[in-house]
């Protein structure tokens, strides 16, 4: 009998990894609109004669990048890295007092102010209290107020402003949320965010989510920021954020804050400026409707 060599059995080949990129952008975004957005915002004027600058409250979990976002807005207008709002990489709460930051372009001080707050924490007696955030939106808490982690300010306290002027109130709440937060977020923190959203919604105050650290969430975006709206991962994270916090996708803006850069970048700037355009427009729309509330 003759002998024959047996053919070795090949192991089944693994399927290729799924493509992390969509065939076409799920949202159309004009990456060349930086100059237009910058000029539009520099020429913005509040719609109400009693308000010379629109105040915008910034809130969110500790370490989300609230102060970094404010710095990034300033950087986009000034063409250089700005660090007026102090930040830390330690993960500990850094902002302890309510503080307003004006936005400056190369030409002038612009008519909107961001109010930075102490970070929110899951624990009941940690971070800023939800009532303090709500009171700050409505102008009952003024600049310089030191957040008390154990007890919110009440109308009985001397620092409480019982009858704030229209110009003291905030007309948009910006949640700064890191893109990976839903991998580890505590349900107690989600409850706090929902309580704040519901209370201000009753008065018609709009909400915007600025989703930070997108470059850390998606290697595609880390390599090329312009892949933002073709990234499946970023789209999924924005949809999850919308469903969890009850904010429409149209009001969620993925951005990359300036962190360790030494020069500004047009792609970072245009994402920041587009988010700001929507924030300012929503705030001014609410300002126009003040008589309805």
pTM attached to this predicted model: 0.89
Rounded to whole angstroms, how far apart are CA atoms 8 and 168? 79
The residues, ordered by sequence, that sit 6+ positions from 290 with a Cβ below 8 Å of its Cβ are 48, 166
Specify the DSSP element, H or E, that contains 207: strand 207-212
* pLDDT tens column, 270-287: 999 999 999 999 999 999
* pLDDT tens column, 204-214: 999 999 999 99
Burial of 9 (0-12, 13-18, 19+ CB in 10 A): exposed
Are 87 and 67 in contact by the 8 Å Cβ rule? The answer is yes
Domains detected in the chain: 34-213+256-292 (3.40.50)
Give the pLDDT score at 12.
65
Residue 187: φ, ψ to 5°: -60, -30
Burial of 140 (0-12, 13-18, 19+ CB in 10 A): buried
DSSP 90: S
Give the pLDDT score at 289.
85
- Neighbour order of strands in the sheet with 252-254: 99-104, 109-116, 54-59, 170-178, 207-212, 252-254
Rounded to whole angstroms, how far apart are CA atoms 271 and 226? 10
Give the pLDDT score at 90.
47
Rounded to whole angstroms, how far apart are CA atoms 103 and 105? 7
User: For the chain, which ranges sit under pLDDT 50?
Assistant: 1, 90-91
The per-residue b/e assignment along 19-48, b for 16 or more CB within 10 angstroms, e otherwise, is eeeeeeeeeeeeeeebeebbeebeebebeb
């Amino acid at each position: 009998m003759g002998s024959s060599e047996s053919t070795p059995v090949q192991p089944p080949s693994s399927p290729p990894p799924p493509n992390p990129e969509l065939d076409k952008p799920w949202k159309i975004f004009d990456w060349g609109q930086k100059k237009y957005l910058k000029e539009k915002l520099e020429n913005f004027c509040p719609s109400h004669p009693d308000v010379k600058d629109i105040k915008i409250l910034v809130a969110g979990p500790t370490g989300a990048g609230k102060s970094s976002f404010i710095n990034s807005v300033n950087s986009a207008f000034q063409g250089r890295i700005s660090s007026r709002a102090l930040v830390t990489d330690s993960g500990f709460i850094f902002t302890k007092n309510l503080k307003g930051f004006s936005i400056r372009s190369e030409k002038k001080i612009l008519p909107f102010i961001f109010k930075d707050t102490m970070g929110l924490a899951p624990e009941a007696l940690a971070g800023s209290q939800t009532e303090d955030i709500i009171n700050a939106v409505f102008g009952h808490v003024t600049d310089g107020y030191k957040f008390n982690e154990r007890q919110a300010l009440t109308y009985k306290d001397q620092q409480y402003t019982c009858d704030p002027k229209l110009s003291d109130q905030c007309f948009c709440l910006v949640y700064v949320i890191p893109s990976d937060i839903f991998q580890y977020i505590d349900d107690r923190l989600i409850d706090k965010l929902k309580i704040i959203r519901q209370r201000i919604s009753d008065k018609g105050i709009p909400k915007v989510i600025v989703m930070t650290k997108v470059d850390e969430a998606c290697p595609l975006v880390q390599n090329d920021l312009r892949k933002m709206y073709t990234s499946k991962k970023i789209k999924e994270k924005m949809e999850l954020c919308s469903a969890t916090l009850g904010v429409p996708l149209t009001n969620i803006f993925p951005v990359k804050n300036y962190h360790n850069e030494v020069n500004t970048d047009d792609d970072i700037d245009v994402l920041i400026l587009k988010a700001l355009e929507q924030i300012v427009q929503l705030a001014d729309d609410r300002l126009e409707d003040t008589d309805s509330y």
